[in-house]
Amino acid sequence: MDKNTTDYKENYIQAKSAVNWDEYFMFQAIMASFKSKDPATKVGCVFVDQNNHQITFGYNGFVAGIDESKLPWGKLKTAPLEHQKYGYVVHAEANAILHSPGSLKESKCYVTLFPCHECAKLLASSKVQEIIYLQDKHQGTESNTIARKIFDLTNIKYRQLKLAPEKIEQLTDHFKLMTE
């Protein structure tokens, strides 16, 4: 430190961000999932470039522009597909890809749930480089296995991110501070 700096050394505090980039974008993905109307499974995702700039985001929802009041949110499998949400819902990753303003080549996808095989096809075809996911509650299902196979065969890396409970508490405290 030079002389002037030494005089004011109380101000030279070492500061650190509360979140790293992985945590930051996963929180963004969680926020996107919060917007989903699906009463059972809310999924959100964010795509970022090599410089950690957000490119696009998405959450699961009905086909854009459709009259939602005429569609079912239920998932009762005994009903025909026409009367289940599965007939009409677009997944978070698909929505993000559809609404992306630019190329997703070599991007990273932060997503709250490990992608299904249909989204894996879109992610691989978009040349996404890495998938960072939070939950993997469908592990072992056929769709999940196919998705992994697609990622392995296209050299897309994937890894699970664990959010520490303290980090979530910290964020909750921050939310309270921002809204009091």
Report, as residue numbers or ranges, the catalytic residues: 93
Provide the residue type at 150 as one letter: I
Distances (CA, A) of 13 to 3, 8, 16, 41, 155: 17, 11, 10, 43, 43
Nearer to Zn ion, 141 or 172 (CB): 141
- Residue 91 binds Zn ion, judged by CB under 5 A: yes
- Identify which range of 54-62, 83-91, 147-155, 162-170 contacts Zn ion by CB under 5 A: 83-91
The torsion angles phi and psi of 106, rounded to 5 degrees, stand at 65, 20
Nearer to Zn ion, 64 or 178 (CB): 64
Nearer to Zn ion, 46 or 116 (CB): 116
CB of 162 to Zn ion, least distance (A): 22
CB of 128 to Zn ion, least distance (A): 13
Helices (H), 115-161: 117-125, 142-153
Contacts to Zn ion from residues 60-79, by CB under 5 A: none
- Residue 116 binds Zn ion, judged by CB under 5 A: yes
Nearer to Zn ion, 81 or 168 (CB): 81
Binding test (CB under 5 A) with Zn ion, winner from 45, 46, 96, 119: 119
Order of strands, edge to edge, in the sheet holding 157-160? 54-59, 44-48, 108-113, 130-135, 157-160
The torsion angles phi and psi of 52, rounded to 5 degrees, stand at 60, 35
The torsion angles phi and psi of 151, rounded to 5 degrees, stand at -65, -45
Per CB under 5 A, residues contacting Zn ion are 91, 116, 119
